[in-house]
A and B are shown apart, each in its own frame.
Chain A
Amino acid sequence: METVFTPIQSLSGGVLIGWAAVLLMLTMGRIMGATGILAGILSPSSSSDLTWRLVFLAGMVMGPLVVMLVTGSLPEVSVRVSTPALIIGGVIVGIGVTFGSGCTSGHGVCGMARLSKRSIVATLTFMLTTGITVFVIRHVIGG
C-alpha cells in the first residue's frame, strides 16, 4: 500500500535528529545510538549512568505527545504486519544490533558522520539486507 511522500517533514525530522546527536555529543560526549541507550538501561554501569539514559528515553517518548500538542494529532504509526512478524522481527533486531554494536541512529547517523569505517560497512550491510528482506517478503513470498 502506498504512503505519502513527505520530503519536507522528513528532511526537517532528519535535521532535528542530527541536532540531537550533536547536542548529546557536546553535553555528554556520547554517540546518540538508540541501541546503546537502551542497552545501557538494561545493564547500567552506575546509577548516574542509568539516570541520564532514563531521562533521555523519557524525552524521546514525549516526542510524539509534543507533536500532538502542536499539530493536533499523534504521528502516524501504521503497522501493516502481523503480530508474529513484529515479535520475530523485534527479536532478530535485538540480536542483530547487539552483535553489530548499533543501529540506524548509532551507525547510520553518528558513526557515518564520524566517517567510521565500521559504521559505514554496518550501515551498507543492514540497508542491503533490509532491502532484500522487504523484496523477498513482498515480491517473492507475497508476490
Chain B
Amino acid sequence: MRLILIFAIGLIFGIGISISGMANPAKVINFFDIAGTWDPSLMFVMGGALVTTFIGYRFVLPRPTGPVFESEFQLPTATRLDTRLIGGSALFGIGWGIAGFCPGGALPALGTGRSEVFIFVCALIVGIFVARAVNTALRNRQTASA
C-alpha cells in the first residue's frame, strides 16, 4: 500500500514536470533569456507549485500524529547562510544555464528514452560523486590540521 502510494506520488510529479515544460531544456533556457526569445511559461510552473505546496504544507505539517507512514517529519534544521549553500547554488545555476536541465526536470524526462537525457543524468551523477570526494578531502584536511 505504502509503495503503491509512493509510486503514485512520483507519477504525479513526473506528469507535472512533463506537462509543465520543465523537462524541455529549450523552454527552460528561453525562460531565462529575457533579453532574447523569452518564454515566461516557467513562472507559471513555479507559481502553481509554490502556492499549492505553501497551502498544502500549512495543513500537513501541524498534524500532531506526524506523517502517515513515518514517526516524524524530517525537515532540514540548518539555518546558516554559508558559502557552501551560496557557492553550490551559484554553481548549480551555471550548470542549469549551460545544459537547460535541472535534476527534477531530467529524472522524469528519462522516461522519454532520449539519449540526451541519459547523458545529462550520467554527468549529473558524476558531479555528485566529484562533490562528495571534494567534501571528504576537505574534511580530512580539517581533521589533520586540528
Asked whether, in the complex, the Cβ of B10 is within 8 Å of the Cβ of A18, the reply is no
CA distance A111 to B125 in the complex (A): 23
Within 8 A of B (CB), among A95-123: 95-101, 103-105, 107-114, 116-118, 121-123
Within 8 A of A (CB), among B97-116: 97-112, 114, 116
Q: Who on chain B is nearest to A126 by CB?
A: B93
Asked whether, in the complex, the Cβ of B75 is within 8 Å of the Cβ of A96, the reply is no
Which A residues touch B116, using CB under 8 A?
77, 79, 83, 86
Q: Which of B29, B40, B87 contacts A5 (CB 8 A)?
A: B40
Asked whether, in the complex, the Cβ of B95 is within 8 Å of the Cβ of A63, the reply is no
Q: How many A-B residue pairs have CB under 8 A?
A: 495
CA distance A111 to B26 in the complex (A): 26
Q: How many residues of chain B are within 8 Å of chain A by beta carbon?
A: 117
Q: Which of A10, A66, A83 contacts B11 (CB 8 A)?
A: A66
Which A residues touch B100, using CB under 8 A?
79-81, 89
CA distance A7 to B128 in the complex (A): 33
Asked, given contacts A39-B128, A93-B101, A109-B46, whether A18 binds B53 with beta carbons under 8 Å apart, the answer is: yes
Interface: B137 (CB within 8 A): no
Asked whether, in the complex, the Cβ of B94 is within 8 Å of the Cβ of A92, the reply is yes
CA distance A66 to B46 in the complex (A): 22
Asked, given contacts A78-B24, A80-B26, A134-B29, whether A111 binds B76 with beta carbons under 8 Å apart, the answer is: yes
Which A residues touch B105, using CB under 8 A?
104
Dominant SS among interface residues on chain B? helix
Interface: A21 (CB within 8 A): yes
CB B16 to nearest CB in A, in angstroms, measures 3
CA distance A14 to B36 in the complex (A): 24
Q: Which of B13, B92, B134 contacts A16 (CB 8 A)?
A: B13
CB B137 to nearest CB in A, in angstroms, measures 13
Asked, given contacts A16-B13, A86-B123, A101-B85, whether A78 binds B60 with beta carbons under 8 Å apart, the answer is: no
Across chains A and B, which 4 residue pairs bring their CB atoms closest together, nearest first?
Answer: A94-B127, A63-B14, A59-B10, A13-B20
- Contacts from A to B (Cβ < 8 Å): 1-7, 9-35, 37-39, 42, 51-52, 55-67, 74-81, 83, 85-101, 103-105, 107-114, 116-118, 121-123, 125-135, 137-139
- Contacts from B to A (Cβ < 8 Å): 2-3, 5-27, 29-30, 32-37, 39-54, 56-57, 59-61, 63, 66-70, 72-76, 78-81, 84-112, 114, 116-117, 119-132, 134-135
